[in-house]
Amino acid sequence: MSKVHVTTSVNGDEVEFLADPRETLLDCLRDHVGLTGSKEGCGTGDCGACSVTLDGTLVCSCLVLGVEADGKRVETIEGMADGTVLHPLQRKFIEHAALQCGFCTPGILVAAKKLLETNPNPTEEEVRYWLAGNLCRCTGYDKIIRAVMDAAAELRQEAA
């Protein structure tokens, strides 16, 4: 199948790649753009390890075709820190030991960032339901929820 030229913005940088029309955005990010931070845990949109935002919308990049990213803005885990300064969510995940194997962590961080942009003061239940599409098999979610709540509190304090 002949490839399609795709021009997109990834974490603020203009990026071009050739995509087979059958390839997912996740495949394109990992294999053509060289950003392997987004993970494939299922390929069916059930685990959330591939979470990115596309024009600001939280998506499973395994359910989006690479060609669909043409002319759009993609944000991935690799763009989350501001240079050497971690996003408060990233910092709180380390502080709270909210990761064990770390494989689901990029997707959870991307999803949690979108949550806090949408709802800066979520309840525990709201965090749990927002992250219900991000599977973690190691932690039982306890420390993840605490890290997200703590980051939310810190971000609110910064904003105040």
Question: Using the rule CB under 8 A, is 60 a contact of another protein?
Answer: no
Q: How far is the CB of 28 from another protein (least distance, A)?
A: 12
Question: Using the rule CB under 8 A, is 114 a contact of another protein?
Answer: no
Question: Using the rule CB under 8 A, is 94 a contact of another protein?
Answer: yes
How many angstroms separate the CA atoms of 101 and 138, rounded? 7
For the chain, what percentages of helix, strand and coil (3-state, to nearest 5) are there? 45, 20, 40
Question: Using the rule CB under 8 A, is 28 a contact of another protein?
Answer: no
Q: How far is the CB of 160 from another protein (least distance, A)?
A: 25
DSSP structure class, residue 85: B
CB nearer another protein, residue 73 or residue 128: 128
CA torsion sign, 140 to 142 to 145 to 147?
negative
- Judged by CB under 8 A, the chain residues 30 through 49 that form the site for another protein are 30-31, 35-44, 46-47, 49
Question: Using the rule CB under 8 A, is 53 a contact of another protein?
Answer: no
Size of interface with another protein, in residues (CB under 8 A): 63
Among 30, 8, 6, which Cα is nearest to 17's?
6
Dihedral of CA atoms 107, 113, 115, 117 in degrees, nearest 10, equals: -150
Counting every residue, how long is the chain? 160
> Which residues are near another protein by CB under 8 A?
1, 20, 22-23, 27, 30-31, 35-44, 46-47, 49, 76-78, 80-81, 86, 90-91, 93-97, 99-106, 109, 124-125, 127-129, 131-146
